[in-house]
Amino acid sequence: MPRPKNERIVHEPPLFTEFKPVGVLGKSLKEVLLSLDEFEAMRLADYTGMSHEEAADEMGISRSTFSRLIEKSRKKIAEFIFQGRLLTIDGGNIHFRRNIIQCSDCGHMFKINIDSPITECPECHSKNLLNLAGGFGHGECCRGRNFNHKHKKRR
């Protein structure tokens, strides 16, 4: 029986969670599921250009675990592109460091620390807010965690 996966730290929820080839109905495509921690590994290594060591520290995991994550995510992205699949980003044993909130009335989007309670839009003062971390079932569970420490290497 495999041991349970450690929780990984993801900076913030993705703005977009589904991608598909143009001109093809999504329901007719096979799905490739990219977990949130795999998404974060791609963001850190390939988008921000961090080294595996820096990215692993950022996510609170070992460098070898990070290397396995980035390898899996790159394979899934290649499958999405070359096989013409539906790519969905969801799941994983993660906690968010920050959140993105969108006002459903004026459309304003703003980023907040996961610990910051927000009850109204800073632009229009509407209370009709969409919580992106909440869409993944997160928010309350992520609050109060100390994300400022760096990953401690196991000896």
pLDDT tens, the chain, 155 aa long: 666 667 899 999 999 999 999 999 988 999 999 999 999 999 999 999 999 999 999 999 999 999 999 999 999 999 999 999 999 999 988 989 999 999 999 999 999 988 888 889 999 999 999 989 888 877 667 766 655 544 444 33
Nearest-angstrom CA–CA distance, 103 and 126: 7
Residues 46 and 91 in one domain: yes
Residue 51 domain-assigned?
Answer: yes
* Total domains in the fold of the chain: 2
Nearest-angstrom CA–CA distance, 65 and 45: 13
Residues 81 and 62 in one domain: yes
CATH number at residue 83: 1.10.10
Instruction: Say how many CA atoms lie within 13 Å of 2 toward its Cβ.
Output: 3
Residues 75 and 114 in one domain: no
- Quote the pTM value: 0.83
Residues 17 and 52 in one domain: yes
**Which structural domain range is residue 79 located in?**
1-95
